[in-house]
Structure 1
Amino acid sequence: MNRFDFKGVSTEDLAQSKLIEAAFEGFTRHGYVILDNVVPPETIRALHVEFFQNYKDQIRDQEAADSLEVGARRFMIPLRFSGGLGAPGIFANPYVLALVRTILDKAAIIDAFGAILSLSGAEDQHIHHDGPILFSSEISRLLPAYALTFGLPLIEMNELSGTTAIWPGSHRRGKHEDQEPLRPVIPVGSCMLWDYRTFHSGTPNRSDQVRPMVYATYARRWYQDPVNFRKETLQRLVFEPDFLTDLPDDLRPLFAHARSAG
């Protein structure tokens, strides 16, 4: 399994880290990577409490103006860049961001930020990739990644609560029927990233609780997800005006497209 443990790894000089280089090479080859111990488990447990305090009204088994049904009993909702859920340690986690900027480039942006909710009783999700292939051309599968999804579960993803099944290498092959997927266990504090072209699917939630997963779409500056935000009432990024003003200089490139859009 394409997995790397960052427990105890210093955040200094991550751009030159051999571990980041290895994760980049694995992501490029397999179309996904799992990063363990990038957020303290106690932080995730606090975020889990915060999520249910602030977003409990959006946990419902029907699509609303501010949500998108992405499978039976599965919904995508936006998250605000506020509180712990909207803290830099989440949307700009140093380990994740170092890898994202290696995979994409230093000017990579956050195209969308939210959560995927798998309700109790959610069944197997349809197998899909997150965006269409560029230019509808097979040569696009040979190109470097142009967008990727970051998923940070707020409860452990496992056989009971469900996980994200992934088809390694499918971002290059353009098919998934010839192999069995991986169904990794992702403990709290760990995350998973996958290429926008990689086939994946949420597995059933057999537990009695909601499985929230914080997600972010990172992309090259010129790319915007053309599929998941066709509904005008569903927001990609939600923040107050002073959020952009107060951003540290090293994080400003993540929102360069939003700043220029006014």
Structure 2
Amino acid sequence: MDAPRAIDLTANEQSARAYEPQNLQSALEGLHQDGLLVLKNVVDVAHVDKLREAMSAETKTILNERAGLFNQGVNSNILQCPPVANGDCLFDDVYFNPYVIQIANAYLGSKPIWSFTTGNNALTGTAGMRQPVHKDITFHHPTAPFYFIANIVLSDFCEANGATEFWLGSHAHTTSADQIPCTEETKVRKQVVGIDPSCNVKSEVVEQRRKIRPPIQAGCRKGDIMIRDLRTWHAGMPNTSDQDRIMVAIGYQAPWYQNNTQRLFLPLKHANFFARHGGQPVEVRANYLADDELGQLWKNYDFTFEPSVPVDRRVMAKL
């Protein structure tokens, strides 16, 4: 059965907090070939449980207070900020995981940029609700690796609780031309109607890809991290279980990629933790908020990975 590559830690790698060349090569092959990778047992499960406890407690408040919050317009999935203001939930193996950052340096380029974080919650009891096949990209993107998302799973993921659907290899074999052009109803920010893409992939392209390599739902366990090339097609799936399915997302940008505006929003009171970046070779690109500004942490949901330099959209649309 088709599945993303999974990388198991050796005893030496656990001690060194870094992959040896053979496993690093395997990880890079998996990302280049599939656009998805699973790192096994790289986060302390006690840290995972602490994050889940904090985020689960917040879910009901979010549903009561935030309008129009559903991800991709489907009432089964919400974006939810990780508990970055809670000092008891700040862990290096979550926010500065050495294995993830080692792969980011190899896949994206030396000293990648952490510029994005959010959480994703597939709500319990949402049988029959799924997202359309899409990319988290609403612009004409590069066809080389330029950004990836590391998802820290806060429970075991399986089909029953809405493990994400992934279209392996789609990152390397399709372009933004395969996405549905944006309309007045779907455009975001400064998109040009009919020229820039919406997130969703054209149905005929999806069906063509299905004949080549149909989608899978990638299972994984607490303590694992999934890495997804931003270009990889995916879709949120129904959660038929009796518990929410939550994951934390950490986004890394290639240092050569010209997005100079995307920023994290983090609490000033914990700036020292983030500035130390776990001693890892990564740049943290963030705006820090004082205690009376923490209501603005919602801005972590409002993200764009688009280049901040001007581009000729009409030319890019033809590439």
Residue 73 to residue 10, structure 1, CA distance change in 2 (3 Å): same
2:137 equivalent to 1:131: yes
Which region of structure 1 is more displaced relative to structure 2, 157-166 or 117-126? Answer: 117-126
Residue 126 to residue 11, structure 1, CA distance change in 2 (3 Å): farther
Aligned-partner Cα distance in 2 for 1:125–1:85? 30
2:247 equivalent to 1:244: no
Q: Which residue of 2 aligns with 1:233?
A: none
Larger Rg: 2
2:165 equivalent to 1:162: no
Q: Which residue of 2 aligns with 1:146?
A: 146
Residue from 23, 33, 45 that aligns with 2:37:
33
Q: SS in structure 2 opposite 1:160? A: helix
Residue 69 to residue 26, structure 1, CA distance change in 2 (3 Å): closer
What's the TM-score, normalizing by structure 2? 0.67
CA displacement, residues 50-95 of structure 1 (integer Å, 9 cap, x when unaligned): 3234x24544178448x55333221112224343543221011111
Shift of 1:259: 6.8
Residue 64 to residue 254, structure 1, CA distance change in 2 (3 Å): farther
- Tell me, which stretches of 5 or more residues in structure 1 are unaligned? 230-235
Q: Report if the CA contact (8 A) 2:167-2:232 is conserved.
A: yes
Aligned-partner Cα distance in 1 for 2:54–2:89? 8
Aligned-partner Cα distance in 2 for 1:57–1:87? 24
Q: Which residue of 2 aligns with 1:186?
A: 220
Q: Report if the CA contact (8 A) 2:264-2:287 is conserved.
A: no
- Tell me, which stretches of 5 or more residues in structure 2 are unaligned? 175-204, 289-319
Q: Which residue of 1 aligns with 2:111?
A: 107
Aligned-partner Cα distance in 2 for 1:160–1:51? 20
Q: SS in structure 1 opposite 2:14? A: coil
Aligned-partner Cα distance in 2 for 1:162–1:26? 23
Q: Which residue of 2 aligns with 1:22?
A: 26
Aligned-partner Cα distance in 2 for 1:44–1:7? 21
Q: Which residue of 2 aligns with 1:232?
A: none
Q: Which has the higher helix share?
A: 2
Residue 132 to residue 15, structure 1, CA distance change in 2 (3 Å): farther
Shift of 1:152: 1.5
